[in-house]
Structure 1
Amino acid sequence: MKTKLILFLSGVLLGTGALQAQANQECATTAALAYSDAKANNYDAAWTRIQTLRKDCPSYHIATYQYGERILKDKLDKAPEGEKKAVAQELIALYKERLQHFPAKTDAGKVNADIAQIMYDAQIGTTEEQFQAFDKAFKADPNSLNAKSLYTYFYLLVELQDAGKKDLQEVFDMYDVVTAKLEEQENETAEGLAKLIEKQEAGEELTDKEQKRLNAYEINLKAYSAVKGSINAKLGQRADCDNLIPLYSKDFDQNKSNVEWLKRVNNRLSGKDCTEDPLFVKVSEALHKLEPSASSAYSLGQLAEANGNQAKALEYYNQAAQLQKDPSVRANIYYRIGNQYKEKGQFGQARNFYRKALEAKPSYGRAYLQIAGMIGQSANNCGDTAFEKRAVYWKAAEYADRAGRVDPSISSTANETAAAYRGRAPQRSDIFQNDMQGKTITIGCWIGESVRVPNL
């Protein structure tokens, strides 16, 4: 009896193993055919087999979901408007299955961000559900949202605020977070671009790989600039002094000992130039009393500047810059200091602070434009001969060019400025008559740089 039972169980196990082996073989065969069809762009045949794999062999290989994503994105691009929603829902389901079966090989943040964007683009779910999808992705990984998704995230919040489902303060808080993330991405891109521009300006030829990177950097910077503009436009009048002053005035007494609240309000009022209202003075003084900081020092600098005390304003601004940890804010402070020195005609000092602004924020094109302006103004004072004096305009044009490349939002102004400077620089006949083609001219006075004469 015992022997019969053992033989029976052995037969069951062998049979189960054989069935499992057969199932694995069927999965392998179906997968091979599906992946082959997908590689050949034979998407209709591939999709049928991908569907089988999702149902019968969901954990066979991650390629099932990678090829499935490629196929569904193609379908989504080609689908008529009335069918896009169904394809989008299928793509979301595919993403969720991949997260379930291959969590270790899936970037959850990116996938969740993709799901959120698809929900918005295909109008799946309510505004609140779409916002929650973005919120989930961003809170899990702030780097998961690209420029477009960051805008959509903010846009949905503003829509909810307009519908009375979110507070205005939440919109302001989100604006700070989203713009900070955009500027972080923008600065990283501009820093990479600046290195390649310097290589070009030094006369070195870029490799094919570097040229592709340069093109990508410039495209991305244009995207960041456009998105920031759209976010500011969406914020619109919600962030003007008429809204900010009453919003914060009603909460001042209960928050006048709350350092974090005072910092946030101080930055907001300062950033929107609401500095003439008594509330700004109250906030600044309360903050400086509780915790002398970059924000409070900067605000006191603004107050000193408004009262005509330029020396005191510069002292506070320098202190604010040294204390400020946020590179974008620090760049704004250095830029403002640079403007003060420029107005005094102290161009060398002004350039030092514009350069500090650029060190903190490489995409600060306006700082390059200010340097270009000062160099252009100094042309008659920074050369020995008429040719050398006019050659200074080439250097001014270089800085104007760079301004537009690192900050596409001012590219039109920068390009016009550069063209104007080149129009004042020596022309082909001047270069030929003076035999200066290809030569390097050292520019004296405060500029202390060199410029290469173009070859004819």
Structure 2
Amino acid sequence: MRVNILMILLTIYSVSNAQKMDCSKQVKEYKDFLILKKMDESIQPWESVLKNCPKDNPELYTDGITIYQYRIETAKSSEEKEKVVRDFMKFYDQFHKNFPEKSKDYEIKKGLLLVDNSIGTDDEILTLFESGFSKVKDVEGRVIFSYFKLFNKKYKNTDSKISTNTYVEKYSSLYQLTNEMLLSKPKYSDEYNATLRSLKSEARSVINCENLTAYYDDKINENKENVQWFETALDILSNRCSDKPIFLSMAQKFYDLNKTAKSSSFLAMAFVKNRKNNDAKKYFEEAAILENDSIEKAKIYYNLGATLYNDDLEKTKQFMNKAISFDPMLDRAYLFLSNAYVNNAEKCTDNNFDKKAVYYLAIQTIKRAQNKNPKFAGKYDSLIAELEKKSLSVEEIFQAKLFGKTYKIKCGINEIVEFPQKK
């Protein structure tokens, strides 16, 4: 009896071991075919591994995705294509069952399969996306927009049971998610910025000041301590409703709750829209001090100089130069400063030389931007050519004996121009 039991155990072990060896051979076989891009030949050995050794290695599934995508592309009919897609979806379920940590986004991938291949109902896709979004934090921009586009379509159906408040809430959550992805994956900033633009465009008929005001009035009490909720709400309101009472009210509450560069900027923006410029200046300057990111700090200083101090040349110079000091690549700051000089050229009534020197200064200011970044080279040549018509000529600089020297422009501009050595 003991001998029989021993023989059975040895047989089981031998079969199991042989199976593993077979899988190993077949893994090599299908991978070799994949390397050679012999997709049809790779399918049979790959399917054999999937059947016999489904838990050995997650690469089996990543390779399977490549194989299934090929099968979709080469399907000979719409019926065959749909069958492949449905099998692919079952495959994603198996992937998640055997390697859940490697496939958290399997429901989103299934939803995308249906979207990309125009298969399935809107409700089926929405259900997959909604379940998937609740389980993962890393979501592609196109997935976010695909989901919202379907949600928007469902809302606009005459028999839709989605309320306007629910719509605004969904829009807000996806808007926040997109911004979170934008911050966490700066490498893909173009993708997520495009997603934000698409969301705004798709929702423009519903996300208006009237609906936003109604929604935020209804939700503000239950979110009165929720910093992230306020930030997202104000970001959405700032697009079209920064001049409305709800924006000022919420900006003040957000600032009182959490004094940061962001909350100071929102409050400053609200005061600008309400023509309280002194208050706006105070909070913009505070925002610039509180901001830790040099690029964002530069933007704040630029906005200060361009909007609130644009009638004060001394202040404009101060804030534009601060903006440039924090972000030397901010070419619009150089351009604004150059334009400010040009606008004040006529005030140089002392002599014609000074007026022309102002245009020379304006040109040199633009050239500073061109010298900072190769992508600006040649970008403003036409503008420089126009300014040169009113600027000092080589002959005038020569007659004034200023080659290799400096010259101070007074008349309110108070800048020193440095002339090059004569060639």
TM-score, normalised relative to structure 1: 0.66
- Unaligned regions of 5+ residues in structure 2, if any? 346-353, 398-403
Equivalent-residue separation in structure 2 for 1:139 and 1:6 (angstroms): 55
Structure 2 CA distance for partners of 1:355 and 1:52, relative to 1, 3 Å: same
* Aligned with residue 375 of structure 1, among 330, 334, 338: 338
After alignment, is 376-385 or 417-426 more displaced?
Answer: 376-385
Shift in Å at residue 7 of structure 1? 1.7
Taking CA–CA contacts closer than 8 Å with sequence separation of 6 or more, which of the two structures ends up with the larger relative contact order? 1
Q: Does 1:14 align with 2:10?
A: yes
1:96 equivalenced with 2:93 (yes/no): yes
Letter in 2 for 1:272: N
The one-letter amino acid of 2:147's match is Y
CA contact (8 A) 1:257 1:286 kept: no
2:382 to 420, 427, 430: 420
Cα distance, 1:25–1:396 mapped onto 2, change above 3 Å: closer
Post-superposition offset of 1:242: 3.1
Are 1:395 and 2:368 matched, yes or no? yes
Rate the CA distance shift 1:266–1:31 in 2: closer, same or farther, 3 A. closer
User: Are the aligned partners of 2:23 and 2:49 in contact in 1 as well (CA < 8 Å)?
Assistant: yes
> Corresponding residue for 1:44?
40
> Of the two, which has the highest radius of gyration?
2
Distance 1:301 1:391 in 2: 33
Answer 1 or 2: which has greater helix percent.
Answer: 1
The answer for the alignment partner of 1:350 in structure 2 is 319
Report the AA paired with residue 351 of structure 1.
Answer: M
The Cα of 1:148 is off from its aligned counterpart by 1.8
Distance 1:314 1:225 in 2: 29
Q: CA deviation at 1:10?
A: 1.9
Pick one of 199, 204, 218 that aligns with 1:231.
199
CA distance in 1, matches of 2:147, 2:299: 26
> Aligned match of 1:130 in 111, 125, 128?
125
Displacement of 1:70? 1.5
C-alpha displacement at 1:231, in angstroms?
Answer: 1.8
Unaligned runs of 5+ in 1: 190-219, 360-364, 404-414, 435-439
1:316 aligns with 283
**What do residues 390-426 of structure 1 show as CA deviations (whole Å, max 9, x unaligned)?**
44433345679868xxxxxxxxxxx996353354487
- Structure 1 window deviating more from structure 2 (110-119 vs 373-382): it is 373-382
Distance 1:306 1:59 in 2: 61
Aligned to 2:21: 25
Q: Is the 8 A contact 2:359 2:387 kept in 1?
A: no
- What is the rounded CA distance, in whole Å, between the counterparts of 2:318 and 2:48 in structure 1? 70
Q: Contact conserved, 1:383 with 1:389, CA < 8 A, in 2? A: no
Contact 2:334–2:365 (CA under 8 A) maintained in structure 1: no
Moved more, 340-349 or 442-451: 442-451
Deviation at 1:314, TM superposition (A): 0.7
Match of 1:114 among 81, 84, 109: 109
Q: Which amino acid aligns with 1:258?
A: K
- Which whole-Å CA distance do the structure 2 matches of 1:18 and 1:73 have between them? 36
Q: 1:7 to 1:178 in 2, by over 3 A?
A: closer
The answer (yes or no) to whether the contact 2:92–2:106 under 8 Å persists in 1 is: yes
Counterpart-to-counterpart distance in 1, 2:69 and 2:357: 64
Contact residue 338 and residue 350 of structure 1 kept, 8 A: yes
Alignment of 1:216-365 (within 5 A): 222-249=190-217, 251=218, 255=221, 258-260=224-226, 263=230, 267=234, 270-284=237-251, 291=257, 293-294=259-260, 297-298=264-265, 300-306=267-273, 308-322=275-289, 333-339=300-306, 340-345=308-313, 346-352=315-321, 354=323
Q: CA deviation at 1:268?
A: 5.1
From 60, 63, 70, the equivalent of 2:66 is 70
C-alpha change, 1:397 and 1:424, in structure 2 (3 Å) is farther
- State the one-letter code of the partner of 1:67: D
CA contact (8 A) 1:297 1:317 kept: yes
Distance, in Å, in 2 between the alignment partners of 1:451 and 1:112 is 66
1:89-115 alpha-carbon deviations (Å, 9 max, x no partner): 2333333323333446x2x24555433
* Range with bigger deviation, 50-59 or 418-427: 418-427
TM-score (normalizing by structure 2): 0.71
Residues of 2 paired with 1:441 and 1:132: CA distance?
A: 73
Take 1:448 and 1:6, find their aligned partners in 2: how far apart are those partners? Answer: 104
Partner of residue 214, structure 1: none
Give the aligned partner of residue 412 of structure 1: none
1:175 Cα offset (Å): 4.0
- Classify 1:420/1:401 alpha carbon distance in 2 versus 1 (closer, same or farther; 3 Å): farther
**Are the equivalent residues in 2 in contact too, given 1:335–1:354 (CA < 8 A)?**
yes
* C-alpha separation in 2, matches of 1:86 and 1:185: 37
CA RMSD in angstroms comes to 4.7
Q: How far apart, in 1, do the equivalents of 2:32 and 2:11 lie? A: 32
Secondary structure (helix, strand or coil) at the match of 2:161 reads coil
The aligned residue for residue 177 of structure 1 is 176
CA distances 1:279-298 after superposition (whole Å, capped 9, x unpaired): 4455455666x646356654
SS at the partner of 1:237?
coil
1:271 Cα offset (Å) = 0.5
State the match for 2:84 in structure 1: 87
Structure-2 separation of matches of 1:373 and 1:180: 29
The 1:255–1:28 alpha-carbon spacing in structure 2 relative to 1, beyond 3 Å, is: closer
Q: 1:109 to 1:319 in 2, by over 3 A?
A: farther
Q: Is the 8 A contact 1:342 1:350 kept in 2?
A: no
Distance, in Å, in 2 between the alignment partners of 1:26 and 1:42 is 21
SS of the aligned residue for 1:87 comes to: helix
